[in-house]
């Protein structure tokens, strides 16, 4: 239990403690904080309390405007920080609880804070993780005769996205313009996208990278995964359908990707780890692992359109996912701060789905009309394979 009041239905109990970057009207400098209840604990104010064997030498990482330096310290520093924070925030620890002056400076209400991108993202990889999603997208683009490409069953299929267009939740996304061919019997046209959707996904931040040309074995991949965020992968399907052959998505997927401001550390997710699902066919040796690094995570999507008095829940997802995506990046240079995303989460029996290697999840295909646009919302979840 924490001495900070936490509502029973709060997403931010002492067991979570996600990291983010925030600023306030009184102090516009972006800085690192941890969410607890409806408060943010400013780590730049309490950095002097990080006196463990690793962080005592690196207290300055909590004075930075992004999480990059902290993430780069590695797993030992992450575990040390989490242990100290849980101790400081507990009801039994007086150091912060009873220091009225320090508490006044250290805590900020979430309602009064402006959230920023949690890290400088130098690279972004988008994986195609759900079998159901891959099949349904394949039907949309190639027809029912050839929905799933043969390589999909053997490796985590992905592509490099545009890191510069990743924005924090709440940033407006503008309807993109591009070339498309809505009628196969006529020449292509240029105009505003009319088939617009987003995929609800999860993505992970990589901490310490690898040296150029030195692979990360899948047995060590979990040492490099800092934490996870929610991600909305915005897509212009009519632009994408016309442009994606032969090199894959380009302008149809690069105009905006939204991530949540809070990064949930992997140690907070470990209590929800479940046995890895069986894969058929069996992956190649470099993608095999026995660690339970698949997670049982419940997600839902609500929608509130114009004229609606309250939001309606239109999708719920139970996410279970393994971790070969990081392993499949092993032969590349994977520096500090890249953001790999899994794919939309899906399950059979719904209208539209999205995927990754052995993922069981849930996605809904929702269609509505507004301002002459057909909106398709693909609710899916990405969990990255580490």
Q: Which residues of 184-210 are buried (b: 16+ CB within 10 A; e: fewer)?
A: eeeeeeeebbbbbbbbbbbbbbbbbbb
347 is in an annotated binding site: no
244 is in an annotated binding site: yes
DSSP calls for 316-382 = EEEEB----HHHHTTTS---SS-EEE------TTSS-----TT-B----EEEEEETTEEEEEE----
Peptide bond into 281 cis (omega under 30): yes
Other CB atoms within a 10 A radius of the CB of residue 366 amount to 17
How many whole angstroms separate alpha carbon 137 and alpha carbon 126?
15
240 is in an annotated binding site: yes
Q: Are 6 and 66 in contact (CB under 8 A)?
A: no
128 is in an annotated binding site: yes
Which residues does 351 contact at the CB level (< 8 Å), separation at least 6? Answer: 364, 365, 366
99 is in an annotated binding site: no
3-state class (DSSP) for residue 51: coil
Q: Which helix (H) or strand (E) holds 312?
A: strand 312-319
Question: What positions carry a catalytic annotation?
Answer: 133
How many whole angstroms separate alpha carbon 136 and alpha carbon 16?
35
- Cα 380 → chain centroid: 12
Q: Which residues of 113-123 are buried (b: 16+ CB within 10 A; e: fewer)?
A: bebbbbbebeb
310 is in an annotated binding site: no
201 is in an annotated binding site: yes
- Calculated CA dihedral for residues 20, 320, 294, 338, nearest 10 degrees: -40
282 is in an annotated binding site: no
132 is in an annotated binding site: no
Tokens matching residue 382 = 């990405």
Q: Which residues, listed in sequence order, are joined to residue 36 by a DSSP beta bridge?
A: 39
Which residues does 259 contact at the CB level (< 8 Å), separation at least 6? Answer: 117, 118, 166, 167, 168, 169, 203, 229, 230, 231, 232, 339
| 3-state class percentages of the chain: helix first, strand second, coil last, to nearest 5 | 25, 30, 50
60 is in an annotated binding site: no
- List the binding residues: 126, 128, 142, 199, 201, 233, 240, 244, 253, 257
- List the binding residues for Ca(2+): 126, 199, 201
- List the binding residues for substrate: 128, 142, 240, 244
């Amino acid at each position: 239990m924490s001495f900070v009041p936490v509502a029973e239905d709060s997403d931010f109990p002492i067991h979570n403690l996600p990291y983010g970057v925030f600023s306030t009207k009184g102090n516009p400098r972006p800085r690192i904080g941890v969410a607890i209840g409806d408060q943010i604990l400013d780590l730049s104010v309490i950095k002097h309390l990080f006196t463990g064997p690793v962080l005592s030498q690196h207290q300055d990482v909590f004075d930075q405007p992004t999480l990059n330096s902290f993430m780069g310290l590695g797993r030992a520093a992450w575990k040390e920080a989490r242990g100290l924070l849980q101790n400081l925030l507990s009801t039994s620890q007086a150091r912060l609880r009873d220091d009225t002056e320090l508490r006044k400076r250290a805590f900020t209400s979430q309602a009064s804070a402006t959230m920023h991108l949690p890290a400088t993202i130098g690279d972004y990889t988008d994986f195609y993780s759900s079998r159901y999603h891959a099949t349904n997208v394949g039907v949309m683009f190639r027809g029912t005769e050839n929905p799933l490409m043969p390589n999909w069953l053997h490796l985590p299929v992905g592509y490099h996205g545009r890191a510069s267009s990743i924005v924090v939740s709440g940033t407006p996304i503008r309807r993109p313009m591009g070339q498309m061919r809505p009628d196969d019997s006529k020449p292509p046209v240029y105009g505003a996208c009319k088939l617009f959707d987003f995929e609800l996904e999860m993505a992970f931040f990589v901490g310490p990278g690898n040296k150029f040309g030195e692979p990360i074995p899948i047995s060590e991949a979990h040492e490099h995964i800092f934490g996870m965020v929610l991600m909305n992968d915005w897509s212009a399907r009519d632009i994408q359908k016309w442009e994606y052959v032969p090199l894959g998505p380009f302008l149809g997927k690069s105009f905006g990707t939204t991530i949540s401001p809070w990064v949930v550390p992997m140690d907070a997710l470990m209590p929800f780890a479940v046995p890895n699902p069986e894969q058929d066919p069996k992956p190649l040796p470099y993608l095999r692992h026995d660690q339970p690094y698949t997670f049982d995570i419940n997600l839902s999507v609500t929608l509130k359109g114009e004229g609606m008095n309250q939001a309606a829940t239109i999708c719920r997802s139970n996410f279970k996912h393994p971790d070969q995506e990081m392993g499949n990046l092993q032969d590349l240079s994977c520096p500090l701060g890249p953001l790999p995303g899994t794919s939309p989460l899906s399950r059979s029996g719904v209208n539209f789905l999205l995927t990754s290697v052995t993922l069981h999840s849930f996605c809904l295909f929702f269609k509505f009309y507004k301002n002459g646009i057909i909106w398709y919302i693909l609710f899916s979840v990405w969990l990255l394979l580490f």
